[in-house]
């Protein structure tokens, strides 16, 4: 009786499949969708299995799914050993390969006696919004299939087990990453972050370093406090000072201190405010968003038009004054878009995020961009001090004291030299250069900078005295001096 029944149902299902193929080929799209829906509903009556899909992206590809990533980590560790088709990814400085399921591969897993199947699939290129979001390939998704008698066990226990273990695996094997935005596809690309800078090796006064480290630690421990006061869990840092004072090194030290990822945002590669907002949403928590040399990235020096505000309305475009052809290729990011990016509504997407701006010219930036609340802490990266020099000497020469330190200390009180220049003079150029040779090289460099600064000051004083003398002299005398100067210049 049962064989006949199964044969009967099998022939019915086979007929439905043939009918579905004919419908797909000959009926209009609306009728095809209607027939597909009813055929699928009828076939599900005879299928005892339940399926759950976990998409790679959520919200129109604007954010990676944490559930998908956790499942990927779980399957890589626990189930990949039984898969027949695998993908291999190399890890830098590792002799082994990381293997994971390849596309369209299926594996089985067992949990408390219940068997489940995982299948890695891709969204159809026709139904995915690939061209809209700049992706080069359709997104993936995992499908979990299990018997309906295990519905409660799988939904209430197994899925939670997979997500918890997957997140634990990610945390244990986490490699910090350095991201940059791809101007072609409007997405983030990354490499492993391996910068060795730490606060211990950073050339800065000890009290100032300690203050910054304490500020960072307080930020990471104040999730409830930020929620209580109604602010997004983020903090802005503005690093300003002359070139070579260690602004980029400071960012690396901050990332290593907090164990955060770094997102290096190139503003000139962002087409418009919408793309800027999408890049922000795709960043992860526990990260540092960096915009270096913000005074050079775009035209941020102009004031906004009257009637505009900090977060919208009429504002001045950040696009430089270019020819019509160049304007079509340039960024259309506006000041209001950037301000919303920093502390607008969208900035609350995700948490535990630090935003860092660097600039060599603080006076060129719009005050609205760097006010407290956006750039909460302003850190001046100044010229090398005597305390900072001792840190560099310990790093480069492995010494804590030397008879020449007194001479060097006196020179630092009267001379401006960047930490980068100090480090270059301290670095041995050959095996023959010992500690004393390197220190004397630094002394010579400091004396040369001191002499150059003295000469420049004298020239400026002479020029100032000449201007004052000319301003006090009669008009006919100033005209005659100008005429004599131009005549002498022609003869030369």
Q: DSSP letter string over 146-204?
A: EEGGGHHHIIIIIHHHHHHHHHHHHHHS---EEEEEETTTTEEEEEE------TTTS-S
Residues 308 and 359 in one domain: yes
Q: Tell me: the pLDDT tens digits for 100-134? A: 788 888 888 999 999 999 999 988 755 544 444 44
- On whether the CB atoms of residues 450 and 411 are closer than 8 A, the answer is yes
Q: What is the CA radius of gyration of the chain?
A: 32
List the one residue out of 37, 47, 50, 106 whose CA is nearest residue 75: 106
Residues 322 and 424 in one domain: no
- On whether the CB atoms of residues 282 and 63 are closer than 8 A, the answer is yes
Task: At 112, give phi and psi (nearest 5°).
Answer: 50, 45
Q: How many helices (H) and strands (E) does the chain have?
A: 19, 15
- Close Cβ partners of 191 (under 8 Å, ≥ 6 residues apart): 177, 178
> Residue 414 above 50 pLDDT?
yes
Residues 435 and 460 in one domain: yes
Residues 182 and 321 in one domain: yes
**Within a domain: 418:** yes
Q: Tell me: the pLDDT tens digits for 322-376? A: 343 444 446 788 888 888 888 878 777 778 899 999 999 888 888 888 888 889 9
Q: Tell me: the pLDDT tens digits for 267-282? A: 888 888 888 888 888 8
Residues 71 and 208 in one domain: no
Residues 376 and 393 in one domain: no
Helix (H) or strand (E) holding 336: helix 335-343
Domain boundary among 323, 347, 380: 380
**Within a domain: 488:** no
Which range of residues forms the domain containing residue 249? 178-380
**Within a domain: 487:** no
pLDDT at 36: 63
User: What is the CA 234 to chain-centroid distance, rounded?
Assistant: 14
Q: What is the DSSP letter of 154?
A: I
Provide the β-strand partners of residue 86: 101
| Domain CATH code at residue 244 | 3.40.50.300
Say how far apart CA 371 and CA 356 lie, in whole Å. 13
List the one residue out of 101, 82, 89 whose CA is nearest residue 175: 89
Say how far apart CA 9 and CA 42 lie, in whole Å. 12
Task: Please provide the distance, in angstroms rounded to a whole number, between the alpha carbons at the two ends of the chain.
Answer: 119
Residue with tokens 């690396």: 252
List the one residue out of 405, 401, 383 whose CA is nearest residue 449: 383
Residues 165 and 41 in one domain: no
**Within a domain: 489:** no
Residues 339 and 468 in one domain: no
List the one residue out of 177, 398, 130 whose CA is nearest residue 283: 177
- On whether the CB atoms of residues 139 and 57 are closer than 8 A, the answer is yes
**Within a domain: 367:** yes
Residues 225 and 367 in one domain: yes
What number of other Cβ atoms are within 10 A of residue 335's Cβ? 22
- Burial of 288 by CB count in 10 Å (0-12 exposed, 13-18 middle, 19+ buried)? buried
> Residue 64 above 50 pLDDT?
yes
When divided into structural domains, the chain yields a total of: 4
* Residue 19: pLDDT band with limits 50, 70, 90: low
Provide the β-strand partners of residue 234: 353
> Residue 256 above 90 pLDDT?
yes
- On whether the CB atoms of residues 443 and 422 are closer than 8 A, the answer is no
Residue with tokens 């980068």: 420
Residues 202 and 234 in one domain: yes
Residues 186 and 291 in one domain: yes
Q: Tell me: the pLDDT tens digits for 419-476? A: 999 999 999 888 778 899 999 999 999 999 999 988 888 888 888 877 777 666 666 6
Between 43 and 364, whose confidence is greater?
364
When mean pLDDT is compared across 37-41, 147-151, 399-403, 409-413, the lowest value belongs to 37-41
- Close Cβ partners of 382 (under 8 Å, ≥ 6 residues apart): 241, 245
Residues 214 and 235 in one domain: yes
Domain boundary among 325, 359, 380: 380
Q: What are the tokens at 419?
A: 């930490």
Residues in the chain: 492
> Which residue blocks in 186-243 are alpha helix, DSSP H?
206-220, 223-229
**Within a domain: 286:** yes
**Within a domain: 243:** yes
**Within a domain: 484:** no
DSSP states of 397-453 as a string?
A: H--S--TTHHHHHHHHHH----HHHHHHHHS-SSTT--HHHHHHHHHHHHHHHHHHH
pLDDT at 46: 67
Domain boundary among 174, 203, 237: 174
Q: Tell me: the pLDDT tens digits for 374-393? A: 899 999 999 999 999 999 99
């Amino acid at each position: 009786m049962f064989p006949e029944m199964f044969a009967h149902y099998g022939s019915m299902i086979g007929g439905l499949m043939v009918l579905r193929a004919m419908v797909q080929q000959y009926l209009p799209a609306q009728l095809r969708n209607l027939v597909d829906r009813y055929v699928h509903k009828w076939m599900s009556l005879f299928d005892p299995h339940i399926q759950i899909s976990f998409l790679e992206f959520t919200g129109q590809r604007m954010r990676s799914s944490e559930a998908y990533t956790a499942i990927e980590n779980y399957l890589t560790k626990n189930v990949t050993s039984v898969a027949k088709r695998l993908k291999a990814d190399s890890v830098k400085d590792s002799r082994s390969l990381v293997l994971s399921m390849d596309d369209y591969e299926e594996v089985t897993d067992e949990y408390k006696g219940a068997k489940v199947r995982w299948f890695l699939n891709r969204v159809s290129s026709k139904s995915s919004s690939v061209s809209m979001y700049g992706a080069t390939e359709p997104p993936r998704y995992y499908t979990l299939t299990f018997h309906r008698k295990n519905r409660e066990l799988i939904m209430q226990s197994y899925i939670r087990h997979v997500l918890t273990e997957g997140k634990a695996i990610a945390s244990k094997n986490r490699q910090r990453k350095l991201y940059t935005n791809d101007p072609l596809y409007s997405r983030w690309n990354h490499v492993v972050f391996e910068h060795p800078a730490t606060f211990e090796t950073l050339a800065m006064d000890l009290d100032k370093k300690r203050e910054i480290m304490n500020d960072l630690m307080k930020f990471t421990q104040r999730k409830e406090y930020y929620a209580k006061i109604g602010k997004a869990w983020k903090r802005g840092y503005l690093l300003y000072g002359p070139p070579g004072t260690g602004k980029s090194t400071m960012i690396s030290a901050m990332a290593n201190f907090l164990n955060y990822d770094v997102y290096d945002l190139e503003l000139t590669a962002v087409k418009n405010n919408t793309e800027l907002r999408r890049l922000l949403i795709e960043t992860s928590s526990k990260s540092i968003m960096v915009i270096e040399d913000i005074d050079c990235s775009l035209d941020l020096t102009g004031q906004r038009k009257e009637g505009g505000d900090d977060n919208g309305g009429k504002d001045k475009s950040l696009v430089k004054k270019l020819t019509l052809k160049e304007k079509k290729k340039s960024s259309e990011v506006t000041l209001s878009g950037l301000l919303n990016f920093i502390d607008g509504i969208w900035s609350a997407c995700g948490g535990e995020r630090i935003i860092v701006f660097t600039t060599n010219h603080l006076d060129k930036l719009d005050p609205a961009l760097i006010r407290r609340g956006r750039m909460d802490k302003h850190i001046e990266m100044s010229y090398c001090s005597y305390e900072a020099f001792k840190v560099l000497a310990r790093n480069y020469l492995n010494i804590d004291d030397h008879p020449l330190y007194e001479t060097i200390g006196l020179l630092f009180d009267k001379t401006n030299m960047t930490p980068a220049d100090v480090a270059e003079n301290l670095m041995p150029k050959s095996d023959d250069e010992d500690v004393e040779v390197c220190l004397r090289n630094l002394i010579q460099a400091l004396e040369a900078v001191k002499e150059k600064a003295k000469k420049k000051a004298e020239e400026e004083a002479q020029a100032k005295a000449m201007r004052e003398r000319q301003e006090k002299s009669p008009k006919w005398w100033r005209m005659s001096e100008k005429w004599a100067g131009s005549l002498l210049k022609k003869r030369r």
